[in-house]
A and B are shown apart, each in its own frame.
Chain A
Amino acid sequence: MSLSSRTVPYFQAAPLALIFLAFFVTPVLLVGAVSFFDYQTWDILIPDFNFYNYEYLLESSTTYRTYANTAKLCALAWVFTLSIGFTIAYFLAFHVRTVPTQIALFLVCTIPFWTSNIIRTISWIPLLGREGLVNQALVGSGLAAEPVEWLLYSEFAVILGYVHLYTLFMIVPIFNSMMRIDPALIEAARDAGASQWQVLWTIVIPLSRPGIAIGTIFVIAMVMGDYFTVDVLGGAKVASVGKTIVNELGYLQYPPAAANAVVLTLVTILLIVGLMRIVNIRKEL
């Protein structure tokens, strides 16, 4: 017996589709359903259909402040990871001449990833604390009379953590895009009298756009959902949406956490859709 050529692809796609259905689509739908539930301290999930959780969320000025703060962290992390990531990728792609050196240097960039996110985040604490290494150096060398307080448990520390953790996610796609740029294009531009900046501005950056867009999606998605870095380096003082959700889960307030998660997901999706409108990744890959 032979299956018709029309049905075979469905069977081939079925395993992945089923896994997605079971472990992605279903949980997301459940989160959506729970966000309309009621709850009490002693009874954490009361099936219901009310908008209380959303009303509370959208009426509270804290929500808007939290989102504004998350957006600010996101924007700052994006600016720094992009500028650092782009520079490193540019150096690797255009200044390093041989492929083995390129690969070797690229691997060097991944060394921090040999330890976990958590350890990399926590290891900032002894460095940045009031009696940490940086402050010891500053006070010891007379550059500062008193230890600098804003190094740790501040937005500065959180952004630093993000840049440290996520810059590689910018480097990789941008480097990938840059490697696809035909060297002949750059040579032609030079021959036509273009300056370094003109080459960068009119050739390299436009052709790196897909890489930049992909890197941006990574960074935005990760910063929007982060709660660990903000907790550890912000001393639990810096507001972020992810942290609010984690708090609510901790207090067994599942329905409001679900509502918060739904709103966060929608906001993130909107951001990414907006980005896709600017750069058509599929077309340019």
Chain B
Amino acid sequence: MAHRSRNPLAQRFTRRDFLSTSAAAGALTITGAPFVHAQEPVTLRIAGTGVNAFNELAAKAKEEVGINIEYIVLTSDDVVTRAVTQPTSFDMIDSEYWMLRKIVPSGNLQGMDTTRIKEYDNIVPIFTKGELPDGTPVARQGISPIKVSYLTDQVSRAFATEPTQWMTLIPTVYNADTLGIRPDLIDRPIESWSELLNPEFRGKAAILDIPSIGIMDAAMVCEASGLATYEDKGNMTRAEIDRTMAVLTEAKRDGQFRAFWKEFNESVTLMASGEVVIQSMWSPAVTAVRQQGVPCVYQPLKEGYRAWAAGLGMPAHLQGRQLDAAYDFINWYLSGWVGAFLNRQGYYTAVLGTAKEYMSDDEWDFWMDGQPAASDVLSPTGVVIEPAGSVRDGGSFWDRMGAVSVWNTVMDEDRYMVRKWNEFIAA
């Protein structure tokens, strides 16, 4: 729409472009070009957690690339289950990087050819080199994306230690997570993860019930309050797991937690309704609470952030026109419009340069540079979420991603950890 006419990049992947690509693909299989026009548009079913499943995005993809996008929105656990047990039930997967340690050994993903990704060289080096754009290495505790970004071959069940031509996921969104708080109900500064277990918030705290992520929040809390120490929070020993779960169980018995949430919307409800005043939260959930007119801060904490990243991957069964369409979709995804759309949700996207061209300077300064907003900040749907003058919680992209302390993870002792987590929930 407005963006398309303004920006030459938008012309890069037009429907004509798509048709010529598929014509080439079609010509390989069917002799006689006119058949192409008779072909139905390709439908891609994307299974994922819904963090970046937006109707606006699907509509735009339909308009600009001519692909029907259908989202299959699942909980994190179910994304893994689907990928491992029913990989043919979707055409692309929107997976988090830690899930790959469970999915890739099943052989259900195919490596993506980086030479077909036009913006490959411009992907944030967190994913391709394991470092920030200024060259400093990103935190490697937990499953830092670089550890699982590449496969040894197109068909492979093993991760490559060095970058190869075959990528597991093309990053879509990533972020640095922290605790969300209700500043109107907590009238003092919150600076440490340890506050989650502060008796002051008894019955008003919540933690998320997805073990791979919840255990990390728990570890941040235990470490911050000096109740436990870790060699590597991202890969705990049994003793470290026991200690962490003992701390959590005791807090649970004391009535510290109001609830445990598994799904994004549950966290929004808990916070907006005032059931909890401090909890594990994801960035867009904070935005969603604010959109309801309820004050909510995504509180930066001195111990740093717990980071996560998600990306689009292709199941092994994808081939022919669908495979081409999947590459077209990814190339369109990285070409700017989507990046700008997602950056405005408070996420970060893989290719920053193209996204910048679709954002106003004010928007870029606010979301990415941590500057005070020069004008009112609007959500992608046009609702004012921040008045002019406000500053993003945590500051700029570098301030936030540079302060990552640990990534979401699957540990070597995963089986043990999950049992202990289950006992904690049942305790």
Contact residues of A with B, CB < 8 Å? 39-44, 56, 60, 62, 65-66, 125, 129-132, 149, 152-153, 235-237, 239, 243-244, 247-253, 256
Of the candidate stretches B19-27, B193-201, B255-263, the one touching chain A is B255-263
Beyond A125-B269, A247-B425, A251-B211, 5 additional pairs, beta carbon < 8 A: A130-B273, A239-B427, A250-B75, A251-B418, A252-B81
Q: Per-position contact with A for B390-427: 1 when CB-CB < 8 Å, else 0?
A: 00000000000000000000100011001100110111
In contact, A56 and B273 (Cβ under 8 angstroms): no
- In the complex, A129 Cα to B204 Cα: how many Å? 12
A252 to B415, CA, bound (A): 10
In the complex, what residues of B have CB within 8 A of residue A250's CB?
Answer: 75, 77-78, 81
State A115–B261 Cα separation when bound (angstroms): 25
In the complex with contacts A62-B427, A130-B274, A251-B418, A44-B259 CB distance below 8 A: no
- Tell me the bound Cα distance from A56 to B415 in angstroms: 13
Shortest Cβ gap from A34 to chain B (Å): 13
| Residues on A with beta carbons closer than 8 Å to the beta carbon of B260 | 235-237
Contact B101 A44, beta carbon cutoff 8 Å:
no
Bound complex: CA A237 to CA B262 (Å): 12
Whether A131 and B262, one on each chain, are in contact in the complex, defined by CB atoms closer than 8 angstroms, is no
| B423–A60 CB distance below 8 A | yes
Which B residues are CB-close (under 8 A) to A243?
A: 425-426
Q: Which of B85, B410, B419 has the most chain A CB within a 10 Å cutoff?
A: B419
Residues on B with beta carbons closer than 8 Å to the beta carbon of A247: 422, 425
How many inter-chain contacts with C-beta < 8 Å in the A-B complex? 82
Contacting pair B415 A253 (CB below 8 A): yes
- Smallest Cβ distance from B201 to chain A, in angstroms? 13
* Interface SS, B side: helix
Query: Is the Cβ of A244 less than 8 Å from the Cβ of B259?
Result: no
Minimum CB–CB distance from B251 to chain A (whole Å) comes to 12
What are 26 A-B pairs at a CB distance below 8 A?
A: A39-B415, A41-B101, A41-B102, A41-B410, A42-B101, A42-B105, A43-B105, A56-B419, A66-B426, A130-B274, A130-B275, A131-B274, A152-B275, A153-B258, A235-B259, A236-B260, A237-B260, A239-B425, A244-B426, A248-B418, A250-B75, A250-B77, A251-B77, A252-B77, A252-B81, A253-B418
Q: Which residues of A contact B105 (CB under 8 A)?
A: 42-43
Q: Are A40 and B415 in contact (CB under 8 A)?
A: yes
Complex: how many Å from CA A42 to CA B410?
10
B284 adjacent to chain A (CB < 8 Å) = no
Partner of B258, one of A66, A132, A235: A235
Task: State whether the Cβ of B70 lies closer than 8 Å to any Cβ in chain A.
Answer: no
Q: Which of B102, B274, B423 contacts A42 (CB 8 A)?
A: B102
A44 to B102, CA, bound (A): 9
Q: CB-CB < 8 A to B410: which residues of A?
A: 41
Q: How far is the CA of A13 from the CA of B77 in the complex (A)?
A: 41
State in angstroms the CA–CA spacing of A110 and B203 once bound together. 37
- Residues of chain B contacted by A44 (CB below 8 angstroms): 84-85
Chain B stretch 204-262: residues in CB contact (< 8 A) with chain A: 209, 211, 252, 257-262
Q: Is the CB of B84 within 8 A of A129?
A: no
The answer to the question of B80 belonging to the interface, with a C-beta cut-off of 8 Å to chain A, is yes
By a CB distance below 8 angstroms, the chain B residues around A149 are 203
Given known pairs A60-B423, A239-B426, A244-B426, the reply for A41 and B274 (CB within 8 Å) is: no
Q: State A73–B370 Cα separation when bound (angstroms).
A: 51
Report, nearest first, the 10 A-B pairs whose CB atoms are least far apart: A235-B259, A250-B77, A42-B105, A236-B260, A239-B426, A41-B414, A62-B423, A251-B418, A66-B426, A153-B259
Q: Mark B96-112, 1 if CB is under 8 A from A, else 0.
A: 00000110011000000
Complex: A219 Cα to B101 Cα, angstroms: 41
CB neighbours of A237 from chain B (8 A): 252, 257, 259-260, 425
How many Å from the CB of B264 to the closest CB on chain A?
Answer: 15
Across the interface, name the chain A residue whose C-beta is closest to B275: A130
Shortest distance from the beta carbon of B74 to any chain A beta carbon, whole Å: 11
How many Å lie between the Cα of A153 and that of B102 in the bound state?
32
A261 to chain B, nearest CB (A): 14
Tell me which residues across on chain B come within 8 A of A39, comparing CB atoms.
415
Q: How far is it, in angstroms, between the C-alpha of A171 and the C-alpha of B85 when the chains are bound?
A: 42
* Chain A residues within 8 Å of B257, by CB: 237
Nearest residue in B to A153 (C-beta to C-beta)?
A: B259
In whole Å, how far is B212's beta carbon from the nearest beta carbon of chain A? 9
| B84 x A252 contact (CB < 8 A) | yes
A249 touches B81 (CB 8 A): yes
Chain A residues, CB < 8 A from B77: 250-252
Across-interface contacts of B203 in A (CB, < 8 A): 149
CA of A125 to CA of B273 in the docked complex: distance in angstroms? 10
Residues from chain A with Cβ under 8 Å of B102 in the complex:
41-42, 252
Q: Which residues of A contact B426 (CB under 8 A)?
A: 62, 65-66, 239, 243-244
Q: Which residues of A contact B106 (CB under 8 A)?
A: 42
- B residues within 8 A CB of A130? 273-275
B residues near A41, Cβ cutoff 8 Å = 101-102, 410, 414-415
Q: A236–B75 contact, CB under 8 A?
A: no
What is the bound-complex CA distance between A247 and B423, given in angstroms?
10
Q: B257's closest neighbor in chain A, by CB?
A: A237
